[in-house]
């Protein structure tokens, strides 16, 4: 029950936080029966939440063991289908606990459940896929060995975000072709370690084909190039699903970019940083001018919406800003805390309305609160882009023209490098 309630709550929250959430090839994940999902890990618990809301089936996933230290918290996390797993770095005392975690995962798979692992072990925002740890694949092979005849596919999943923390950003969830565990069983019976390594590497290659990634030395250049591609799409339009394929292809080729192109990207990024703006400001300054009339005329209704709805969201942002030091944790803390505080806030408002207002006014008050809240959110999206364009137009004409020329040259060279 708690899992379903949280899933509904997080689906609503993520649909507001992200402008667009795109699921691709999710039919690769079996509609029934066991499957082991393995994914990259760019955004802490947000990754698991994203997979959970995009799939109809319940998903069990394993998280860092230290999150379960408190017994009360542990019970809540278990109700949300979260289970502890420990890394060897935590000390030898965790090895026995991991035996229990592996047994739990194997039991879930044998019962026909979906189990999710992030084999990189640690979340990070770099455009670089780290080597996979072997635990998930040891579980898969042992489960297949202990349950003859079981069909246990391993499904690679690629998670990509247009920005790790920015409001109104975009997220992609890509599923790849399943890897049949049984194909590795004959080797596992002869040489378990070699079979586990081979399966882990096969899964790593499967995930690698689904994510925007490059050798670590080039991740900063790739990040800037992807930002430039994304900025070409109007803020109020859905980007084509295939844009992620273009970015994945960029990641595959960026190691071959000439030093001159890398220098141009560095110089362009440095110039933007010097004036305190981003690539989207340059693009917005050259796009069709957004009218300030909706900003003026829409302000009264938006103001009412913010008065009635903004407090829990602002508190959530304050908590995230003060308590979160790692970029990969920020969006999850911001969204989850804001969602919880908003529910509490709505309960308080509803209770006060019931006490002080007649029934019909209570219904009208709740309707106005929700309606103006949604309107103010849409208003914020428009106002944010209007402000971005206004800041872009503040760049002097000569600098803007120079930046635009540099941008076009970089995109042209990137296109040539891809072809």
Tens digits of residue pLDDT in 273-287: 999 999 999 999 998
Predicted local confidence at residue 216, as pLDDT: 82
For tokens 């090895």, name the residue: 95
Domain presence at residue 371: yes
Residues belonging to the chain:
419
Predicted local distance difference test score (pLDDT) of residue 258? 87
**Within-domain flag for 282:** no
Confidence at 6, pLDDT banded by 50, 70, 90: confident
184, part of any domain: yes
389 and 403 both lie in a single domain? no
Same domain, 42 and 125: yes
Three-state DSSP string of 71-91: HHHHHHHHHCCEEEECCHHHC
d(CA 47, CA 287) in angstroms, rounded, equals 33
Angle, CA of 94, 98 and 103, to the nearest 5°: 155
pLDDT at residue 90 above 70?
Answer: no
> Residue 116 pLDDT > 70, yes or no?
yes
Q: Is the pLDDT of residue 407 over 80?
A: yes
One domain, residues 339 and 381: yes
Residue 108 has pLDDT above 90, yes or no: yes
**Same-domain pairing of 400 and 271:** yes
Q: Which helix (H) or strand (E) holds 117?
A: strand 114-117
One domain, residues 29 and 89: yes
User: Would you say residue 285 lies in a domain?
Assistant: no
Has residue 400 got a pLDDT over 70?
Answer: yes
Quick one: angle between helices 2-17 and 327-356, nearest 10? 110
Q: 11, 226, 211: which is closest to 118 by C-alpha?
A: 211
Tens of pLDDT, residues 152-199: 999 999 999 988 888 888 899 999 999 999 999 999 999 999 999 999
In a domain, 361, yes or no: yes
- Residue 120's pLDDT band (boundaries 50, 70, 90)? very high
- Of 153-167, 241-255, 328-342, 345-359, the range with the lowest mean pLDDT is 241-255
400 and 303 within one domain: no
Domain tally for the chain?
3
Average pLDDT, the chain: 90
Residues 132 and 7 in one domain: yes
How far apart are alpha carbons 360 and 168 in whole angstroms? 35
Q: Are residues 387 and 405 in the same domain?
A: no
User: Does 288 fall in a domain?
Assistant: no
In sequence order, the β-bridge partners of residue 319 are none
Considering the domain architecture, whether residues 238 and 314 belong to the same structural domain is answered as no
Q: Specify the pLDDT at position 74.
A: 74
Does 87 score more than 70 pLDDT? no
pLDDT for 68 equals 72
Q: What is the mean pLDDT of residues 308-319?
A: 95
327/385 same-domain check: yes
Which is nearest to 7 in space by CA: 62, 41, 44, 48?
48
Confidence class for position 10, pLDDT limits 50, 70, 90 = confident
Range of the structural domain that residue 313 is part of:
293-393
Comparing 377 with 246, the larger pLDDT belongs to 377
181, 233: one domain: no
* Residue-level pLDDT at 96: 55
In a domain, 98, yes or no: yes
Using the 3D structure, point to which of 209, 235, 261 is the last residue of a domain: 209
Give pLDDT, residue 367. 95
Q: Is residue 299 part of a domain?
A: yes
**Residue 168 tokens, joined:** 């109104």
Span 63-83, mean pLDDT?
73
Q: Are residues 238 and 125 in the same domain?
A: no
- Domain limit, last residue, from 158, 175, 209: 209
pLDDT at 142: 95
Does the structure show a pLDDT above 90 at 235?
no
Give the CATH number for residue 122: 3.40.1130.10
Q: What is the pLDDT of residue 55?
A: 93
């Amino acid at each position: 029950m708690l899992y379903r309630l949280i899933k509904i709550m997080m689906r609503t929250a993520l649909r507001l936080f992200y402008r667009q959430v795109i699921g691709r090839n999710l039919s690769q994940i079996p509609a029934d029966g066991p499957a082991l999902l393995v994914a990259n890990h760019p955004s802490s618990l947000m990754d698991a939440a994203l997979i959970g809301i995009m799939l109809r089936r319940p998903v069990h996933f394993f998280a860092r063991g230290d999150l379960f230290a408190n017994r009360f918290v542990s019970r809540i996390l278990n109700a949300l289908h979260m289970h502890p797993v420990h890394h060897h770095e935590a000390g030898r005392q965790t090895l026995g606990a991991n035996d229990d975690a592996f047994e739990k995962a194997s039991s879930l798979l044998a019962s026909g459940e979906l189990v999710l692992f992030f084999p990189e072990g640690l979340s990070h925002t770099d455009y670089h896929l780290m080597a996979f740890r072997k635990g998930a694949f040891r579980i898969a092979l042992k489960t297949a060995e202990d349950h003859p005849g079981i069909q246990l596919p391993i499904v690679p999943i690629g998670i990509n975000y247009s920005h790790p923390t920015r409001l109104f950003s975009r997220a992609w969830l890509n599923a790849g072709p399943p890897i049949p565990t049984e194909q590795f069983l004959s080797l596992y019976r002869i040489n378990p370690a070699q079979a586990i390594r081979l399966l882990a590497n096969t899964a790593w290659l499967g995930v690698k084909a689904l994510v925007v990634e490059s050798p670590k030395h080039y991740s900063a250049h790739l990040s800037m190039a992807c930002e430039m591609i994304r900025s070409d799409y109007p803020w109020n339009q859905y980007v084509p699903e295939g844009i992620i394929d273009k970015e994945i292809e960029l990641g595959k080729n960026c190691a071959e970019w000439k030093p001159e192109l890398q220098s141009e990207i560095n110089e362009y990024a440095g110039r933007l940083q010097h004036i305190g703006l981003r690539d989207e400001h340059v693009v917005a300054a050259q796009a069709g001018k957004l009218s300030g009339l909706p900003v003026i005329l829409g302000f009264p209704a938006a103001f009412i919406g913010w008065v009635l709805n903004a407090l829990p969201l602002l508190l959530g942002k304050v908590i995230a800003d003060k308590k979160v030091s790692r970029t990969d944790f920020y969006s999850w803390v911001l969204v989850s805390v804001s969602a919880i505080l908003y529910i509490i806030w709505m309960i308080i408002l509803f209770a006060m309305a019931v006490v002080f207002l007649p029934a019909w006014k209570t219904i009208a008050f709740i309707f106005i609160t929700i309606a103006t809240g949604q309107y103010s959110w849409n208003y914020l999206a428009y106002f944010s882009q209007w402000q971005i364009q206004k800041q872009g137009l503040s760049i002097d004409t000569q600098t803007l023209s120079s930046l635009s020329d540099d941008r076009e040259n970089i995109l042209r060279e990137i296109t040539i490098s891809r072809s």
